[in-house]
Every structure is written in structure tokens, then in C-alpha cells.
A and B are shown apart, each in its own frame.
Chain A
Amino acid sequence: MTLSVALGPDTRESTQTGTVTSGDVLTAPDVPWNLVIWNDPVNLMSYVSYVFRSYFGYSEAKANKLMMEVHKKGRSIVAHGSKEQVEQHAVAMHGYGLWATVEKATGGTAGGSGKGKGKRG
């Protein structure tokens, strides 16, 4: 991702973890697919965060946290659900121009974002 102009302090990684609840309905334990967003050098950090807020309804803090995870780790799991649900999200993300893929939540390829459930529970 790219940062083209100086942004305000609210776009830096938030240390808050306890205030986010809106998107967590997706984090049911028995749903086996992930939506992954990949880093690229073009998409603006502000834009990625905006998409997470407006499409998923995530709080600003959660959207920024996920955005920073994409930026720093190269990828982030931003939603879970049935295969159909995450595929629908992926098409929406492609519509926004974000680089999104879907993957099965179980198995070795899901690495990179183990965190989330325990922290936000």
C-alpha cells in the first residue's frame, strides 16, 4: 500500500482492542472459509481502511488495524464465512480494486493472521 500525503494520527495502528464488536458476528467458530486481502504498492492506506469501514461496517479502529496488518505482513484475513459468503465479499473487493482471494480456514495456508478471535472475544 502507499501513503501519498501526511495522514492524521488516527490512521496509525490502533492499540485499542476491546472496543470493536460490529464485525465480529462473522467470526463464528464453525465457518470454514477466509477472505484474504493482499498488500500491493498502489492502493492507498486510507482507501483500504475506508473500504473496510464502509463495506464491512467495521469501526475505524478495526479497519485501521486490519489495513496495517495488510501493509506490514503482506496479507490479512478480514472476514470469515461460508464459501459463498467470502466469494461474494471477494467480488465486492475486486469491484473496489482491492486484491482479495478466498481460502479454506483450515490447513497450512491460513497462516499470517492467527490473531483476532481470542483478543476481541
Chain B
Amino acid sequence: MAKAFKYGLKGIKGHLEPAERELLRSLFDDVISMLEPEQRANEDPLAALVGLDTEAREPSDRAMRRLLPNVMKNDDAASLEFRRYTERSLRESKIGALKAAALSLDRDNLVLTPDDARHWATALNDVRLVLAERLDIRDDADADNIHLMQDWAQAEDVESYLALVYNFTTWLQESLVQAMAHSLDR
């Protein structure tokens, strides 16, 4: 069983079983592949280099819309304009955090520096946002229902499995954020 993250003298320390590491690695990889920008044949390499994406569009997938939201509530045109200047670097920073978190899973001891911890917190958060869309969590009541699923013996279909995975990542992120909040108190 995983142990809750704890803040101590050497940083934030955690413990994960091999199967839990495998699970997290595949979750991080899944979200990375969702976020990786598609290569376009006629792309202007200079534009790409400065982070400009003239072809960027509001994603049609709900989970992607949650990861890369519009910057204005009621102005799609202005949001799109903004997206063309910012979305590529946002994708890259999210991918960077997910990759850093995945990389630290290779180490035997899970001892996180402040940077590691930040990467882990955002990586887990992005994973949870994607899982929540797949589980159709729309409000707090939905979240409470999913939260009731705690026993792996209950995993009898894809949805119940996803719910258990969601609850595991929620618990892990909560313990990490508590440890990070302690580090801010110092």
C-alpha cells in the first residue's frame, strides 16, 4: 500500500508499491499523449519555436477543454486569439510536469524537492481532471458518489475501476498538498 506523503527534513517523502508506480506512469503517459501537439506538415517552424500556433482551436473533447480552457467566459473570438499565443506553451509546461513526475517514479526512494512536488501536484491534478471527465463528474454530488468506491474488490467494470483509480489519485494528491502546505508554513 502507498503511504501518505510526509514533509520532513529531506523534503517530501512518499512510498509507492511497484504496481502503483506502474499505474501512475501509465496515467501520466496517457495525459502526455493527449496534450502532445499534433505535428502539422505545413507548420511554420519559427512560429512553433516562439510558441505561436495559428491553427489552435478550442478542443472538442471535454477533458481537453478542462485542461486547456478558454480565457474568457463569453468571448470565443478573443479566447481563440489568446489560445493561439499561449496554448502551445501551456501544453508544454503541463507535459513537462507530467514527464518530471513520471521520471521520479524510476527512483527507488520517492523524496521530492519543492520543484518535484509542484510537478507532482499539477500532474496528479491533470490526471484527475481527465479521469473526472471520463467518469462524468459534473457536480459535488457526483464526486461524493464516486468517492464511495474504495474497495478494489468492487472493481467489476471499466467505470468502477476508473472510480477506484480516481480515488487513489485524489488521496495521493491530498496527502501531497498537505505536505506542501506544511512546507509553506516553515
Contact = CB atoms under 8 A, between A and B. Distances in A.
A101 B68 CA distance: 11
A19 B140 CA distance: 32
Contact of A101 (B71, B94, B170): B71
Interface stretch (B22-30, B100-108, B119-127): B119-127
Contacts of A100: 69, 71
Label chain B's interface by main secondary structure: helix
Contacts, number: 95
Nearest to A98: B125
Interface in B69-84: 69-74, 82
A105 interface: no
Interface-centre pick from B68, B118, B138 (highest chain A CB count, 10 A):
B118
Interface stretch (A23-31, A43-51, A113-121): A43-51
B178 A91 contact: no
A85 B16 CA distance: 40
Interface string B48-78: 0000000000000000001111111110000
A56 interface: no
Given A41-B143, A96-B125, A109 B74 contact: yes
Given A95-B93, A97-B126, A102-B72, A41 B142 contact: yes
Contact of B94 (A36, A53, A95): A95
A50 B177 contact: yes
A42 B132 contact: yes
Categorize the interface residue count of chain A: 20 to 34
Interface of A: 1-2, 4-5, 7, 36, 40-44, 46-47, 49-50, 53-54, 60, 87, 90-91, 94-97, 99-103, 109
Given A46-B178, A101-B73, 20 more contacts: A2-B140, A2-B143, A4-B147, A4-B167, A4-B171, A7-B178, A42-B129, A42-B137, A44-B174, A46-B177, A47-B121, A47-B177, A53-B181, A54-B180, A60-B185, A87-B71, A87-B86, A94-B68, A94-B90, A100-B69
28 contacts: A2-B140, A40-B66, A41-B132, A41-B138, A41-B139, A41-B140, A42-B128, A42-B143, A44-B174, A46-B177, A47-B177, A50-B177, A50-B181, A54-B184, A60-B185, A91-B89, A94-B67, A94-B69, A95-B90, A95-B94, A96-B125, A97-B67, A99-B66, A99-B69, A100-B71, A101-B69, A101-B73, A102-B71
